[in-house]
Amino acid sequence: MSKEKKTLHTKTGDRVVVLSGKDKGKIGNVKKVNTTKGKVLVEGVNLKTKAQKPNPMAGIEGGLNKVEAMIDSSNVMVVCPACEKATRIKVEIRNDKKVRVCKKCNETLDV
């Protein structure tokens, strides 16, 4: 099994909308991107319940905590900041740099 990096359409800090699953239609920001597995961590989406043991030495209280889990990058679509719509992206070369561009309004997504 090789550890190849996949090229993903999302980057950390992008605003995305979830396309499928129990959180379909939710919008959130990408906190983390895993290029080897092709997964993203979106804040407020795909919450799992995790049991936490109490640790008085570290000051950690025990109980059930909600934790965000990774979802596949194919299940999210980037929301364009200019037109505020979920859109596919294309990569263009502008000023000798690769830039991600909204397919609907032709505005750049990278600042």
Q: Is 10 helix (H, G, I), strand (E, B) or coil?
A: coil
Task: Give the pLDDT of residue 20.
Answer: 95
Q: Indicate if 38 and 68 belong to the same structural domain.
A: yes
Residue 2 has pLDDT above 70, yes or no: no
| pLDDT (tens digit per residue) in 19-71 | 999 999 999 999 999 999 999 999 999 999 999 999 999 988 899 999 999 99
Q: Judge if 49 and 23 occupy the same domain.
A: yes
Query: Domain total for the chain?
Result: 2
Around 86, how many Cα atoms within 13 Å sit in the side-chain half-sphere? 12
Confidence tier at 7 by pLDDT (50, 70, 90): confident
* Alpha-carbon gap, residue 50 to 66, rounded angstroms: 6
Taking residue 100's Cβ as centre, other Cβ atoms within 10 Å add up to: 16
Q: Is 108 exposed, middle or buried (0-12, 13-18, 19+ CB in 10 A)?
A: middle
Q: Are residues 1 and 49 in the same domain?
A: yes
Domain extent at residue 63: 1-79
Same domain, 97 and 52: no
Per DSSP bridges, beta strands 39-42 and 27-34 are antiparallel
Mean pLDDT for the chain? Answer: 92
Whole-prediction pTM:
0.83
